[in-house]
Amino acid sequence: MRAELAPFGLDLVLGLAGLGILVAIRAVPLRASSMVAAFGLAYLTGAAAVPLVLTILLTIGVPFTLEMFAAVAVICIGLGVALAWARGDRPPPAPDAWWRRPWRSWPADVWIVALFLVAFGIFAVVGMLDAFRVPLLGWDAWGFWARKAQMLTWHDSLFAEFFTGLNYRFVHQDYPLQLPVFEALHFRAAGNVDTQAVGRHLWLLLVAFVWAAAYLLRDRVRPAAWAPLLLLAALAPGVWQQLLTGFADLPMAIFIGIGAIALGLWLSQDRDQGGGRFLALAAIMLGAAANTKNEGLMVAVALLVVAGIVGLARGLRFRPFLIACAGVAVAVLPWRIWMSANGIKSDLPVSKGLDPGYMLDRTSRIWPSIETLGHELADQSRWLYLLPLAAVVVLAALISGTGRRVAAFYLAAFAVVWAGFIWSYWLSQYPIEWHLETSANRVVSALMFICIAAVVHVSGLLLNALVQRPRGREAEAAAPAAPAVAREPVVSND
């Protein structure tokens, strides 16, 4: 009984810890209905932040135990309560209770959300049933991530011989610990190492991603835009099939997707608004992505650089953005410092990437990398046309001027991350054919989740502008009767 139920109890604690963090950064108001609505985002926040903190504690010698996990979770919850109390936060006025009205008078958005909940609920349950019976078969899944999780299950510290010994070099000793810590927590809660149970909790990350994206965009994107697009993203075989393999690429991409949405929401704020809660959320998600895979660090840096350039052009407050960047650095550096102190070398010779002679000698690797990544992105049987949809809505936003800077952020982020992956293949010391064959189909997940963030966010901006725009003679007739104070727009279309 413990092996089945205790890991899901741990997931509940992760969600409560995430709620404490979200309340602390004012991303969720102190209202029971709002906290229930935000629980998907809360679970994803807890799954990102708590393993991050435990990894940092491990690098400075603090034992990794369930008691330490409980202490970190309680601190996260207490931090939210204490900050809300100190600030004197009060729940905002509750919106009109639409469910108290006759069902015939329910607005169209309510019906769309209800249909989405039914459809996605069926998908989530069926996927969880699959996750209960699918074994962990992928080499990387049990050879790299689950093996490190097993080590952390039986050892309370970073077992130096495991990370530095020649016999364990095949586990990629430089790979960061976000996913192994996440898995090890569930193993410890269950009381044994059951690799087949890993998929159940990874599946919750996908459910939480869809839930979190819908919550974050609820006030800016109408359900008519986000509901079908998020359902399409979840149904994409390249998403759910890959997640159930237990590889780290999809969890990393999920954190990247929410981080990209948070940065996009910050960029859509008015100039006199700080958007600090979105930047704080982006820092948590990008820090988790950077600690899930080495590629996540490159993607996190790319997103922050692009967002910083667009934010500067928009004239947004830059001090909160710099604090967010510092937060990502704090999340990343402890593991890197521990690696350096213990003589652990990275598989990717980053320093040689600045050596013109070394790179010129390897130019034959560029075109195969471009061709293979292009082939994987063009495989619409896996991605259900999410990339073309993202291209259409981003192009429409750039041409029309609606949400232009947000669209430019997603487009530039995609381009920079794509170039970064080409650079990493160019730089890599592995044989190019083997490296592309074994990784390209997974690497593009990060790019696709940037596309998912773009298509959901930008299509919502376009739909809002279309609905709010008066037409022809109706606009002329309405002009004299316009109120003295204009209604505040849902989003900034700048």
Number of residues that this document lists for the chain? 494
DSSP state of 270: -
Q: Which of 336, 327, 353 is nearest to 421 (CA)?
A: 353
What is the distance between the alpha carbons of residues 432 and 7, in angstroms, rounded to a whole number?
A: 40
Other Cβ atoms less than 10 A from the Cβ of 293: the count is 26
- Would you say residue 481 has pLDDT above 60? no
State the pLDDT at residue 195: 87
In this prediction, residue 140 has a pLDDT band, given cuts at 50, 70 and 90, of confident
Amino acid at 120: F
Residue 9 tokens, joined: 């109890």
In this prediction, residue 164 has a pLDDT band, given cuts at 50, 70 and 90, of confident
Residues 300-321: what's their mean pLDDT?
Answer: 92
- Would you say residue 330 has pLDDT above 90? yes
State the pLDDT at residue 102: 64
Q: What is the DSSP string of 53-116?
A: HHHHHHHTT----HHHHHHHHHHHHHHHHHHHHHHT--PPPPPP-GGGS-GGG--HHHHHHHHH
Higher per-residue pLDDT: 143 or 494 = 143
- Would you say residue 338 has pLDDT above 70? yes
State the pLDDT at residue 376: 95
Q: Which of 202, 199, 184 is nearest to 251 (CA)?
A: 202
What is the distance between the alpha carbons of residues 492 and 366, in angstroms, rounded to a whole number?
A: 40
Give the pLDDT confidence of 443-472 residue by residue, as tens digits: 999 999 999 999 999 999 998 888 776 554
Cβ atoms of residues 461 and 472 within 8 Å: no
State the pLDDT at residue 108: 82
State the pLDDT at residue 92: 65
- Would you say residue 52 has pLDDT above 90? yes
Q: Which residue has the tokens 């309510």?
A: 110
Give the pLDDT confidence of 35-48 residue by residue, as tens digits: 999 999 999 999 99
Residues 311-333: what's their mean pLDDT?
Answer: 92
Could you tell me the maximum CA-CA distance found in the chain, to the nearest angstrom?
Answer: 80
State the pLDDT at residue 345: 82
Distance of CA 324 to the CA centre of its chain: 15
* Full-model pTM: 0.92
In this prediction, residue 261 has a pLDDT band, given cuts at 50, 70 and 90, of very high
Give the pLDDT confidence of 74-126 residue by residue, as tens digits: 999 999 989 888 887 776 666 665 556 666 666 788 888 889 999 999 999 99
In this prediction, residue 134 has a pLDDT band, given cuts at 50, 70 and 90, of confident
In this prediction, residue 273 has a pLDDT band, given cuts at 50, 70 and 90, of low
Q: Which of 78, 79, 80, 74 is nearest to 23 (CA)?
A: 80
Give the least confident one: 87-91, 417-421, 432-436: 87-91
Residues 169-198: what's their mean pLDDT?
Answer: 90
Q: What is the DSSP string of 8-44?
A: HHHHHHHHHHHHHHHHHTTSS-S-HHHHHHTHHHHHH
Q: Assign residue 247 a region (left: φ > 0; alpha: ψ between -120 and 50; beta: otherwise).
A: beta
Q: Report the chain's mean pLDDT, rounded to a whole number.
A: 88
